Amino acid sequence: MKQSQGPSAKFSEPVADYLEYLQRERGRSENTLRAYDVDLRNLGQFLHDHAGDPTLKLITVQMVRDWLAYLHESEISRTTLARRISAVKNFFAWALKHELVESDPALRLAAPKKERRLPHVLQPSQINRLLSEDEAPVEDDSKAGEQSTRKDNDVKSLAVACRDKVIAELLYASGLRISELVALDIADIDFERRTLRVLGKGNKERVVPFGKPAERVIIDWIRSHRKILATESAGDALLVGVRGSRLNVRQAREVIATALKSLGDTSASGPHALRHTVATHLLDGGADLRAVQEFLGHASLATTQLYTHVSVDRLRQSYRQAHPRA
């Protein structure tokens, strides 16, 4: 069967209305909207290619079940499958509420249980290496002129290196999501209290602290290096890319992925690993669970409780290694 280029307007137009509703009335983030769009387009494409491209009202329970069987045959991950089912169920619930369908064809769809994986957590020694401040090498006086020229030519690279230190320090110091980090403006920083004003998921604002090491690299970045990279298009953005505008999520992810890979002894691979790590370290240090929930901006305490399992696992491991009758 010939594949089309995409779902027709019969399906894509109500999906567009639904996404607009999520953005305007529910305050969903751009990342969430993109995920919903991809998942609903997947269903729309299937209906177009395999079910005769029905209008929304003519979509049946069997069509949706056939789509679900198609997903299973595609051997996608449990997480992706659960997300797609959730997106479709929420969409049809909205459509029913707004009388776009007479009955909900996705009502009885059951999502698979998500795999509950414990997050990768860096050890304190790994964090120290990741955030270590390398000392500048001592140069031979006879090569001073050559070194001066090299420094002039490499000033942009030094600025980028300083910015990357800010990224790593702030992700660990404040447990920010990567999207929250790149959205920070200089005005969001209170240096007197050493806090950040963060706009999190659902446009919920919170204030989180950061420590003296992060303060040092932020001040160094703002005073000496940011102006080397920033152009007028950066506005008040704290972090900027090499082209001078606000740093985006993809670029920031690459910075952390490269830094973690350079450690050579961890399977942690992305910025969320630092968020997991600071949460676990706080709980290991005796922080209150609800305080950590507020710190991370979790809507549900159950999400924060995942990190207690990491701490308990560490306790069990230490117990087996140290207790004479373990």
> Which letter does DSSP use for residue 246 in this model?
B
Question: Any idea what the Cα angle at residue 281 is, between residues 279 and 287, rounded to 5°?
Answer: 75
Residue with tokens 């997991």: 276
Rounded Cα–Cα distance for residues 48 and 287 (Å): 53
Sign of CA dihedral 284, 287, 289, 292: negative
Rounded Cα–Cα distance for residues 131 and 304 (Å): 25
Distance in angstroms between the alpha carbons of the first and the last residue of the chain: 62
| Sequence letter at residue 314 | R
Q: Which of 201, 206, 253, 314 is catalytic?
A: 201
Q: Is 120 a catalytic residue?
A: no
Strand partners, 209: 195
Q: Which of 48, 275, 276, 281 is catalytic?
A: 275
Q: Which of 83, 163, 226, 298 is catalytic?
A: 298
Rounded Cα–Cα distance for residues 188 and 198 (Å): 7
Q: Is 275 a catalytic residue?
A: yes
Q: Which of 10, 41, 272, 314 is catalytic?
A: 272
Rounded Cα–Cα distance for residues 188 and 197 (Å): 5
Q: Is 276 a catalytic residue?
A: no
Query: Are 285 and 94 a contacting pair, CB within 8 Å?
Result: no
Q: Is 272 a catalytic residue?
A: yes
Rounded Cα–Cα distance for residues 89 and 108 (Å): 9
Q: Which of 48, 177, 225, 246 is catalytic?
A: 177
Q: Hey, which residues are catalytic here?
A: 177, 201, 272, 275, 298, 307
